[in-house]
C-alpha cells in the first residue's frame, strides 16, 4: 500500500431528487491507476468533474489532495489534469498553441515552452506536428495531442474521461496500451473513467464499479472479475448465468445447493460464512461451462442434461441457450466445437467455477 494521494469523503451530488453521486468514499494511492467503471449515467463522469472542480459537491462532501482540502480551490488552480471525452482541443489554435496554452499561463519563457511542447509531442509519439491545425488530425492523433496537452502541465493527478470512446475498436487497444505505458513512465496518479470492462480490467491497479451514483465494489481486476460482490457487478463484468439456490448441506470441502430442484455442488472456501438453509444467488460465466453431446463420465462435479433452444455463431465462439428440464436457462459459450451442436446436450462445470452472492 502506497501513500494516499487523493481522498474522497462523503462525496454527493444531487440534481433535484436525483442522486448523480451518492455518499462516495474513495482513497487513491500515489502513482496508482484507478478506474471508475460503470454504465452511462452511473455518476462516474460527475465524480471526475467534481475532482476537477467543474462541479461543486453537495454540503458534506470533501476532496483531499495530498492531505489538503480541495473544495474551495477554483478549478484553474487545482493542478489536476483532465483528458476530455471529446478531447476538447481548441479548434481555432494549432497543435503547438493547444499544448502551450496552459504553459503560457504558468508564465514560462517562450524557449521553455517550445522545449516542453517538443518533448511532450515526442513522448506521445507525435513529433513535428506543432503547426498542424486540429481539424487536420485523425481521431487517434487528436487523442494523443489531448493527452500531451494535459501531461505537459505535469499535473499532480491525471483524470481521463472515457478517452478512447471516440476511437475505432482496433485503435482503441493500441492506444489503451500506450496510455498505460505513459502512466507507468510518469508514475502519475490517474483516475480513468470508462464503461468498457476490458479496458478497466486490463489497465487498472484498482477498479471502482459504480451504479446509480453509488460504489458497488472496489477491488483489483482479479477480485472484481472473480469475486463480484453483488448481482450488478457480476452482470457488468460478464457473468451471464444467475441461479437462485438454497444451501442444503455444508461440508468440509463442498457445499450442496438446491437450485429449483437441480442439485449443484460448490467448493467451500475459507471465509464463505454460509449457513444451512440460506438463500443465495449462484453465478456462472458462460465460458466456464462445458457443453457436450456425449454423456460425461462419472466423477464430474456438476452434470446437467438439457436442450439447446437457440444458438448464435460468433466466429471465435458459439453461444448456446440451453434449457434444463424446463426449470433453468443457461447461457454457454463454447470455443472448441468445430460445428454447431443441436438438440439434447450435457452441461458440465467444475465446482470451483461457481461464484455466489449472499443476500444478507
Give the interface with other proteins as residue ranges (CB under 8 A).
49, 52-54, 74-77, 79-82, 84-92, 101-102, 105-106, 134-135, 149-150, 153, 166
Cell 438446491 identifies what position? Answer: 258
Residue with smaller CB distance to other proteins, 92 or 316: 92
- The minimum distance between CB 299 and other proteins, in angstroms, equals 57
Helix (H), strand (E) at residue 25: strand 18-29
Neighbours of 199 (CB within 10 A): 23
Q: Is the dihedral of CA 160, 165, 166, 171 positive or negative?
A: positive
- The minimum distance between CB 234 and other proteins, in angstroms, equals 30
Residue with smaller CB distance to other proteins, 68 or 77: 77
Residue with smaller CB distance to other proteins, 66 or 75: 75
- The minimum distance between CB 29 and other proteins, in angstroms, equals 23
Residue with smaller CB distance to other proteins, 81 or 219: 81
Residue with smaller CB distance to other proteins, 149 or 290: 149
- The minimum distance between CB 8 and other proteins, in angstroms, equals 18
**Please, is 107 exposed, middle or buried when counting C-beta atoms within 10 Å of its C-beta (0-12, 13-18, 19+)?**
exposed
- How big, in percent rounded to 5, are the helix, strand and coil portions of the chain? 25, 35, 35
C-alpha 239/C-alpha 226 separation (Å) is 10
Residue with smaller CB distance to other proteins, 92 or 339: 92
C-alpha 9/C-alpha 5 separation (Å) is 13
- The minimum distance between CB 165 and other proteins, in angstroms, equals 10
Listed in sequence order, the residues at least 6 apart from 89 whose beta carbon sits closer than 8 Å to its beta carbon are: 98, 134, 142, 145, 146, 149
- The minimum distance between CB 91 and other proteins, in angstroms, equals 4
C-alpha 149/C-alpha 54 separation (Å) is 19
Amino acid at each position: 500500500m502506497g501513500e494516499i494521494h487523493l481522498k474522497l469523503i462523503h462525496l454527493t451530488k444531487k440534481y433535484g431528487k436525483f442522486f448523480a453521486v451518492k455518499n462516495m468514499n474513495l482513497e487513491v494511492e500515489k502513482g496508482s491507476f484507478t478506474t471508475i467503471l460503470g454504465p452511462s449515467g452511473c455518476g462516474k463522469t460527475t465524480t471526475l468533474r467534481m475532482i476537477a472542480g467543474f462541479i461543486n459537491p453537495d454540503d458534506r462532501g470533501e476532496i483531499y489532495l495530498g492531505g489538503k482540502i480541495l473544495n474551495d480551490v477554483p478549478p484553474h488552480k487545482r493542478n489536476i489534469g483532465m483528458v476530455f471525452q471529446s478531447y476538447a482541443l481548441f479548434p481555432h489554435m494549432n497543435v503547438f498553441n493547444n499544448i502551450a496554452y496552459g504553459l503560457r499561463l504558468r508564465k514560462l519563457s517562450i524557449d521553455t515552452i517550445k522545449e516542453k511542447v517538443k518533448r511532450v509531442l515526442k513522448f506521445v509519439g507525435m513529433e513535428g506536428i506543432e503547426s498542424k491545425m486540429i481539424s487536420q488530425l485523425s481521431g487517434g492523433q487528436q487523442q494523443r495531442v489531448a493527452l500531451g496537452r494535459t501531461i505537459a502541465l505535469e499535473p499532480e493527478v491525471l483524470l481521463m474521461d472515457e478517452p478512447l470512446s471516440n476511437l475505432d475498436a482496433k485503435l482503441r487497444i493500441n492506444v489503451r496500451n500506450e496510455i498505460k505505458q505513459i502512466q507507468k513512465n510518469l508514475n502519475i496518479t490517474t483516475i480513468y473513467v470508462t464503461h468498457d470492462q476490458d479496458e478497466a480490467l486490463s489497465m487498472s491497479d484498482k477498479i471502482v464499479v459504480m451504479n446509480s451514483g453509488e460504489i458497488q465494489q472496489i477491488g483489483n481486476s482479479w477480485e472484481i472479475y472473480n469475486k463480484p460482490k453483488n448481482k450488478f457487478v457480476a452482470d457488468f463484468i460478464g457473468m451471464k448465468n444467475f441461479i437462485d439456490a438454497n444451501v442444503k448441506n455444508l461440508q468440509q470441502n463442498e457445499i450442496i445447493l438446491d437450485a429449483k430442484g437441480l442439485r449443484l455442488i460448490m467448493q467451500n472456501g475459507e471465509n464463505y460464512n454460509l449457513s444451512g438453509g440460506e438463500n443465495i444467488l449462484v453465478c456462472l460465466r458462460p465460458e466456464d461451462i462445458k457443453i457436450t453431446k456425449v454423456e460425461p463420465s462419472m466423477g464430474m462435479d456438476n452434470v446437467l442434461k438439457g436442450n439447446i433452444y437457440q444458438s448464435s455463431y460468433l466466429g471465435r465462439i458459439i453461444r448456446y441457450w440451453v434449457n434444463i428440464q424446463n426449470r433453468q436457462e443457461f447461457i454457454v459459450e463454447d470455443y472448441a466445437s468445430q460445428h454447431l451442436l443441436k438438440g439434447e446436450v450435457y452441461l458440465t462445470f467444475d465446482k470451483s467455477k461457481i461464484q455466489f452472492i449472499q443476500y444478507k
